[in-house]
């Protein structure tokens, strides 16, 4: 959950970010507040899962799927992963930088409660 | 215009021991009401960007508080305009907050994703009927094949999932399960585990890696109990039929 100071796009960091994203946007106490943010959750998480699956698959290809997330994959793994990602249609979530752009899909609604 | 950004709900007292900084570098403080308190910081009333830096800030505040006492994490980008609204929230849902805080006390969430080899993908049946029918027939028979494949997949997945999930369920106090979120992902599980049993849970996953060598396991955590704080809303998605 915390940044351990690893390489900027390490697999562990990417997985941690996706797991955090999933929890912070889709789970946790829901408060009908003065202002509630609605994000395109489904799309984001769908993309997140695809990414996660491709990174687990990459780990399996390289190491029989036994590698714990704390061990960063060799460089080939990252290349494999990103080439998969770029083949996906509507991809805007394949790295940290473009993940930030998803805030463009946010909508704010006041629900007056 | 400023308001309050919410991170979580805790029991009150004790006060926060740490000098925490939240989103926008604002100091984190408690808004107490009776035996409960909300963990908040001042914030402009506009959503924070959904990116690594901001998600991490929110998560860090929750985790820092969690190190000292139970907390119910609140969803990212939740704001209330004024203190009185926070107090009203604590008042309205006091009973639910209290009982959930008791439920999660001394426990953490472990996250698990299990990937499987999708059966039958390599040998899809060759379609012999379509040449006798028009495009409509072809469409229908393709639909039928897809549905049959999906049903077969779910049945095979369910059997395997039951075996694997049972291993972890016995190591946790509560569990949450989403089956086949995608074809390749057998299930996503969240497990509420007593702190002192976290290592036992990890060992359980290591054992499962050996026992189910055709599956891939991705274990994360410990996390704050995100999947176990909304009562009925936490219900396992698409529960196991057994």
Nearest to A53 among B79, B115, B219 (CB): B115
Mean pLDDT of B74-95: 92
Burial class of B45 by CB neighbour count within 10 A (0 to 12, 13 to 18, 19+): middle
The pLDDT score that the predictor gives to residue B90 is: 95
Q: Chain A residues within 8 A (CB-CB) of chain B?
A: 1-3, 15-17, 19-21, 23-31, 33-37, 39, 44, 49-50, 52-53, 56-57, 59-60, 64-66, 68-69, 96, 99-100, 102-103, 106, 108
Mean pLDDT of A83-90: 31
| CA B7/CA B40 separation, integer angstroms | 6
Contact list, A60 vs chain B (CB under 8 Å): 115, 216
**Least CA distance to A14: which residue of chain B?**
B52
Burial class of B151 by CB neighbour count within 10 A (0 to 12, 13 to 18, 19+): exposed
Please indicate if any CB of chain A lies within 8 Å of the CB of B227: yes
Tell me if B76 and A99 make a contact (CB, 8 A cut-off): no
| CA B237/CA B192 separation, integer angstroms | 16
Report yes or no: A64 and A107 within 8 Å, Cβ to Cβ: no
Question: How does pLDDT run across A30-75, given as a tens digit for each residue?
Answer: 887 555 444 444 444 455 555 566 666 666 655 544 434 444 433 3
The pLDDT score that the predictor gives to residue B190 is: 95
**Least CA distance to B54: which residue of chain A?**
A100
The pLDDT-based confidence of B47 (bands split at 50, 70, 90) is confident
Nearest to B24 by CA among B6, B52, B50, B44: B44
The pLDDT score that the predictor gives to residue A9 is: 59
Assess: ipTM above 0.95.
Answer: no
């Amino acid at each position: 959950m915390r940044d351990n100071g690893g390489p900027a796009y390490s697999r562990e960091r990417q997985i941690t970010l996706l797991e955090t994203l999933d929890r912070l946007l889709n789970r946790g106490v829901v408060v009908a507040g003065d202002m509630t943010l609605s994000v395109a959750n489904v799309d984001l998480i769908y993309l997140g899962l695809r990414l996660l699956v491709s990174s687990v698959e990459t780990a399996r290809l390289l190491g029989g799927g036994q590698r714990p997330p704390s061990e960063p994959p060799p460089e080939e793994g990252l290349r494999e992963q990103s080439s998969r990602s770029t083949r996906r249609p509507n991809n805007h979530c394949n790295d940290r930088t473009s993940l930030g752009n998803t805030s463009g899909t946010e909508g704010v609604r006041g629900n007056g409660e | 215009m400023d308001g309050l950004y919410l991170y979580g709900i805790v029991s009150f007292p004790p006060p926060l021991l740490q000098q925490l900084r939240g989103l926008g570098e604002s100091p984190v403080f408690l808004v107490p009401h009776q035996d409960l308190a909300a963990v908040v910081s001042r914030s402009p009333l506009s959503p924070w960007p959904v990116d690594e830096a901001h998600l991490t800030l929110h998560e860090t505040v929750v985790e820092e508080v969690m190190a000292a006492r139970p907390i119910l994490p609140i969803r990212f980008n939740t704001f209330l305009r004024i203190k009185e609204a926070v107090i009203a929230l604590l008042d309205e849902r006091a009973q639910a907050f209290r009982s959930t805080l008791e439920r999660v006390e001394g426990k953490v969430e472990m996250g698990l994703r299990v990937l499987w080899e999708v059966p039958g993908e390599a040998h899809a049946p060759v379609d012999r009927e379509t040449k006798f029918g028009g495009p409509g027939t072809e469409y229908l028979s393709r639909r039928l094949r897809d549905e049959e494949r999906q049903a077969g997949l779910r049945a095979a997945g369910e059997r395997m999932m039951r075996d694997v999930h049972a291993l972890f369920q016995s190591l946790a106090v509560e569990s949450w399960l989403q089956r086949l979120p995608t074809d390749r992902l057998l299930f996503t599980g969240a497990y509420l585990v007593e702190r002192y049993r976290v290592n036992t849970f990890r060992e359980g996953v290591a054992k499962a890696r050996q026992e189910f060598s055709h599956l891939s396991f991705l274990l994360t955590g410990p996390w704050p109990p995100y999947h176990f704080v909304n009562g009925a809303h936490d219900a396992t998605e698409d529960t196991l039929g057994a």
